Structure formats: structure tokens, C-alpha cells
Amino acid sequence: MYLHLGGDVVVNLKNVISIMDLETTTVSKISKEFLAIAEEEGFIENISNDLPKSFIITEIDKKSKIYLSPISSVTLCKRAGYINDIANI
């Protein structure tokens, strides 16, 4: 199954490691440092000119990539079916 992240970007769900809310996770110093280092090393791709609301950590062919998406993490999780999976636990 594939997940549309916004713009023209679609990723295979098996490659998604994490879907994170940008506002709540960047409160943490560790998360800020993680994103700063990832940006310095070229792992981050901003997929829209809109203000990002979430970031998605993926691994494709043993290479990490982080997408900044204008779509909220809750919406992306619903699209991926994660919300339904959690509700059934």
C-alpha cells in the first residue's frame, strides 16, 4: 500500500518508519538536534512550499530520507490505516 504525503510524493508504507507531528516533537531539544543534523547531511526533503505540519522518516534501499509534509500527522496516520489498527487493540 502507498501513502500520499502531499505534493507529488507517494511512498510505500513498508518504507515508513515514523510519522511525527512537527509542532509537538520540535519542543524536545533532542528532536530539534536530530532534524538539524538531518538537514545538514541532506536527508530532509521539503515536499511543498506550504508550512510543514509533519515529518515522515523513511528508509528506502537502506538510505534514510525525511519528508516535511504540509499534511497533519493525524491525517497521514488515518490514510495509512494506523488509527484503525490502534483502535482495534
- Model pLDDT for residues 2-53, shown as the tens digit of each residue: 999 998 999 999 999 999 999 999 899 999 999 999 999 999 999 999 999 9
Specify the pLDDT at position 26: 85
* Gap between the Cα atoms of 16 and 2, Å rounded: 10
Mean pLDDT of 46-68: 95
Find the domain containing 42 and state its range.
2-87
Amino acid (one-letter) located at 63 = K
pTM over 0.85: yes
Question: CB of 56 within 8 A of CB of 78?
Answer: no
Task: Look at residue 77 and tell me whether its pLDDT is greater than 80.
Answer: yes
Report which DSSP code applies to 51.
P
Question: CB of 54 within 8 A of CB of 20?
Answer: yes
Break the chain down into helix, strand, coil percent, rounded to 5: 35, 35, 25
Q: How many domains does the chain have?
A: 1
